[in-house]
Amino acid sequence: MTPEISLIIPAHNESEFLPACLAAAAKAAGRIDSPVEIVVVLNRCTDATGEIALRHGCRIVREDAKNLSMIRNAGVAAASGEIIVTCDADSRMHPDSLKEILRRLATGKVVGGGAMVYPERWSPGIVASAFAILPYLAFTGVSFGLFWFLKRDFEKIGGFDPRFVSVEDVDFARRLKQHGRKSGRSWGTLFRTPLITSCRKFDQFGDWYLFKNPAFVRKVFRGDDRKTADQFWYDVRSD
């Protein structure tokens, strides 16, 4: 049976977090009638991420570029579903996320969207860091974390832009929203089915890191700083 939904999960040494991500996805898939496939994109993995994915019945794709746009695009290229959902391996979707996505897209009034994102824990530093990045996100009018859209719309806007080594998701969301306007479709946010994401970046760098380093935040949101991207994403877990 051809899957209607393809869930794309980029994964670089995610053996610690992937089982919970897949368990949450399986629970969400169990609440809908539509078939779901899970595509795990292995990126320079040296741990048991691939074995875990295979044990859970996932499809495996490999893309070793230090570029999340290329990693995400590789997953979508391999996907069989008409509806694409993306989720990071250290995050857990709500049990009703897929049900809500199907409902929203069936109306024909939305081009896709993101989700409300909550950290797995809170602290004063995490709250301050959220406010530190808020100005960079507010003007876009998009949400992120768990992207969902039709594959044909993804192809029309050219997917994720490989020129971005960071904030490629914000750029993609902005372009998808603009594309939707042309056909009278709006951007949707899953407020009632939020995504829970790990706090491993705060665990690694400190809860106050983003708040205390505004220059670093500026470089991240510029999207083209290779050194900053490697420091925060691609080389931080090189084991």
Q: Taking the model in full, what pTM does it have?
A: 0.95
**In the predicted model, what is the mean pLDDT of residues 142-155?**
95
The token duo for 40 is: 């795990």
Residue 238 has pLDDT above 60, yes or no: no
Residue 198 CA to residue 26 CA, distance in Å, equals 19
- Average of per-residue pLDDT values in the chain: 95
The token duo for 205 is: 């760098």
DSSP sequence for 24-80: HHHHHHTTSSS-EEEEEEE-S--SSHHHHHHHTT-EEEE---S-HHHHHHHHHHH--
Q: How much is the pLDDT for 128?
A: 97
Q: How much is the pLDDT for 141?
A: 86
| Domain spanning 5-120+142-197: CATH 3.90.550.10 | yes
> How many helices and strands, by DSSP H and E, does the chain display?
11, 8
Helix (H) or strand (E) run with residue 207 in it = none
Residue 2 has pLDDT above 70, yes or no: no
**In the predicted model, what is the mean pLDDT of residues 38-42?**
98
**In the predicted model, what is the mean pLDDT of residues 130-157?**
92
For the stretch 157-189, pLDDT in tens is: 999 999 999 999 999 999 999 999 999 999 999
At 153, the amino acid letter reads D
Q: How much is the pLDDT for 1?
A: 60
Q: How much is the pLDDT for 237?
A: 62
Q: How much is the pLDDT for 156?
A: 98
